[in-house]
Amino acid sequence: MSGKIFFGKIDTSNPDRAIQIADRIWWVGHILPDDPFQCHVYLIENGNQSVLIDPGSKLTFKNTLRKIEEVIPFSHIRYFICQHQDPDIAGALPIIDQMVSRDDAVIVSHWRVIALLKHYGLDLDFICIEELGWKLDLGGRQLEFILTPYLHFAGAFCTFDRQSRTLFSSDLFGGFTEEWQLVAQDESYFEAIRPFHEHYMPSQEILYHGLAKLEKYPTKLIAPQHGSIIPEKLIPFMFSQLKTIDCGLYLLTQTSTDIVRLTKLNQILHKFTESMLAYKAFREIATECLTLVSEIIPASKLEFYTLDGYSSGLLFSSESMFRPLETEIPKEFSGLIGSSFHHWLELYGGPVSYYCGAPRGKVEPICRLTLPLLAPDTEVIRSIAVFYLATQESPEDEVVEILRQLAVPLNIAVERELIQRSLEQERQKFYEQSIRDPLTGLYTRLYMRESVQRLLGISDRDPHATVGLISLDIDHFKLVNDTFGHQAGDKVIQEVARIILQETRDSDIQVRLGGEEFAIFIASEPLERIKDIAERIRKAVASMEFQGSMENHDFSLSAGVIVCQPDEDLSSALERADTLLYQAKHQGRNRVCSKLKE
């Protein structure tokens, strides 16, 4: 079969034979009955410099060997590439070790994989792809190795054949298939990819990073270890869809083999992510950021420059505990805020700017790293973060990468602080007119009409300053009044109000609409986050306990959750939220609804 011309169409009619999938590239795997996790083995036919990629397991290698011999003698294989160490691709190595007779045969892999494969006690030599310079010259045909760490293994990598433009993608683009199908037929194959990656890949950030590296290659065919081969027409779709999968944690990836260094960087990102979740106050988040970054660079001071809603310059500095100070933004930064990230790249050539020099009239140099913070879903610079350095030390690539990844959460923190500042200003302005409900301490309808309408106006001018609304009603409250009396009913209302205040922020607007009805307005949070708040309130109410006559009585409430739409007035927003609240009532009460039932 060797030397057969490949015309571009893959014939999968007889999977019991070797199947040519590209120029001198063969599928030599074996189908295991009733296994949705089929594993593929690929052979690159290249004379006595041939390559076997992901050799397979003991269960399949007998058939793989037969198919190899259909194409070339097994002795022509010099390189055995293992893209990770799992037994479904490396289990056959002891068999191969006994069969190989040539002295120059080697197992090719990442050093982290080799560290585990050595425990097979093989006679075959190993060679690290790092030592090869991430390339393997087959004598006129070159393979390139692309590190995709943590997808799914620390030393995971893919292999790209320049001649055929085939990407051997290891676990990436793999899928669960109920029926064996060597080549994906249409976009529906993504539904086989989705569950595989959602449970197997550690995080969306790591997955996106790996995909971005692979997307740079001019790939015509993707040959994964599992699932189906992806032809050229489906490749752009699969890349774009995989980028949307939410599979977990926020983590940095690097090609460096310095594990201690990489672990340190990963821990810093993980800690900062935790601080974003744990802290509400901007000064706490910014202080934690400076503390963590100081572990990898000599950062002595952190400043943020931005504009408030009235185009006034604001400075948040570690020297003032990140309290907002109105200021004139320095000339070196004022022209950047409001410009595009493309303009930034033209000026500095990368995501972080490094400067070290003595200001006019000064002797001591100032060294700083400047990071642009982009508005969500845009390429517009909204704020500037400046890390001042205690020593003249230019950043390593890993530091630039970690700062780049910190830019998104830092921008969220700044934007949130600006919105909170705007809310505080509005609240202070109308404080004298604000009226609180005497029973609960919550705001009344009058305050709601005056303050929320202004909040909606801010949202109309700035689409990122969203306003969420939770409409709540205590279930069967009339029964409480009729059974236990109005004084007991007042105690229930007061306890529900206490829970609402406990589960929301000081900057949120908590309203008693009347009787047992409440509303909460929450700024700058997505719908899912607002639903979480409503669920916490619902659960807390369901856990309420009272002494005396109401001791054994069960309580619950229902809620409707929305995010206000552009140009929507208060009346319309309340009506939409109430509609979802009534839906929750009709569906059995003690629940939160955020979507109309069709």
pLDDT in tens, 516-544: 999 999 998 999 999 999 999 999 999 99
Confidence of residue 580 (pLDDT cuts 50, 70, 90): very high
Q: d(Cα 311, Cα 430) in Å, to the nearest integer?
A: 22
The mean pLDDT value for 316-327 works out to: 91
- Inter-residue contact 75 to 102 (CB < 8 Å): yes
Length of the chain: 598
Q: Are residues 238 and 290 in the same domain?
A: no
Q: Closest by alpha carbon to 574, among 584, 564, 566, 583? A: 564
Residue 109 to residues 121, 203, 214, 261: CA-CA distances in angstroms? 16, 24, 18, 22
Q: How many domains does the chain have?
A: 3
* Residue 253, pLDDT above cutoff 50: no
Q: What pLDDT is attached to residue 407? A: 87
Q: Are residues 46 and 97 in the same domain?
A: yes
Domain boundary among 424, 446, 468: 424
Confidence of residue 117 (pLDDT cuts 50, 70, 90): very high
Q: What CATH number is attached to the domain comprising 161?
A: 3.60.15.10
Q: d(Cα 389, Cα 290) in Å, to the nearest integer?
A: 11
Q: Are residues 410 and 468 in the same domain?
A: no
- Inter-residue contact 93 to 87 (CB < 8 Å): no
Confidence of residue 5 (pLDDT cuts 50, 70, 90): very low
User: Does residue 143 belong to any structural domain of this protein?
Assistant: yes
Alpha-carbon 594 to chain mean position: 24
Q: Are residues 214 and 351 in the same domain?
A: no
- Inter-residue contact 84 to 39 (CB < 8 Å): no
User: Does residue 10 belong to any structural domain of this protein?
Assistant: no
Q: Are residues 487 and 449 in the same domain?
A: yes
Q: Are residues 133 and 272 in the same domain?
A: no
* Residue 178, pLDDT above cutoff 80: no
Q: What pLDDT is attached to residue 265? A: 64
Q: Identify the weakest region by mean pLDDT among 75-79, 215-219, 271-275, 323-327.
A: 271-275
pTM of the entire predicted model: 0.46
**Pairing between strand 157-161 and 166-170?**
antiparallel
User: Does residue 27 belong to any structural domain of this protein?
Assistant: yes
Q: Are residues 175 and 268 in the same domain?
A: no
User: Does residue 6 belong to any structural domain of this protein?
Assistant: no
Confidence of residue 464 (pLDDT cuts 50, 70, 90): confident
* Residue 6, pLDDT above cutoff 70: no
Q: Are residues 456 and 500 in the same domain?
A: yes
Element containing residue 217 per DSSP (H, E):
none
Q: At what angle do helices 486-503 and 527-542 cross, to 10 degrees?
A: 140
Q: Are residues 439 and 575 in the same domain?
A: yes
CB within 8 Å of 138: residues ≥ 6 apart: 44, 46, 49, 51, 79
Q: Are residues 231 and 289 in the same domain?
A: no
Q: d(Cα 46, Cα 125) in Å, to the nearest integer?
A: 20
Domain boundary among 178, 209, 242: 242
3-state secondary structure of 442: coil
User: Does residue 14 belong to any structural domain of this protein?
Assistant: no
Domain boundary among 393, 424, 455: 424
More confident residue, 312 or 89: 89
Q: What CATH number is attached to the domain comprising 403?
A: 3.30.450.40
- Inter-residue contact 511 to 474 (CB < 8 Å): no
Q: Are residues 413 and 466 in the same domain?
A: no
Q: Are residues 182 and 267 in the same domain?
A: no
User: Does residue 486 belong to any structural domain of this protein?
Assistant: yes
User: Does residue 253 belong to any structural domain of this protein?
Assistant: no
The mean pLDDT value for 466-488 works out to: 94
pLDDT tens for 46-95 read 999 999 999 999 999 999 999 999 999 999 999 999 998 888 889 999 99
Q: What pLDDT is attached to residue 267? A: 61
User: Does residue 1 belong to any structural domain of this protein?
Assistant: no
Tokens 């310059």 correspond to 313
Q: d(Cα 288, Cα 271) in Å, to the nearest integer?
A: 9
pLDDT tens for 355-404 read 888 777 677 788 999 999 988 778 899 999 999 998 887 887 778 878 88
Q: Closest by alpha carbon to 565, among 471, 470, 472, 466? A: 466
The mean pLDDT value for 139-151 works out to: 92
Q: Identify the weakest region by mean pLDDT among 186-195, 206-215, 484-493, 506-515.
A: 186-195
> What residue numbers bound the domain in which 28 lies?
19-242
* Residue 264, pLDDT above cutoff 80: no
Give residue 168's identity as a one-letter amino acid code.
Answer: F
* Residue 4, pLDDT above cutoff 50: no
Q: What CATH number is attached to the domain comprising 447?
A: 3.30.70.270
Output the CA angle 44-214-380, nearest 5 degrees: 170
- Rounded to 5 degrees, φ, ψ at 523 are -95, 140
Q: Closest by alpha carbon to 426, among 465, 399, 452? A: 452
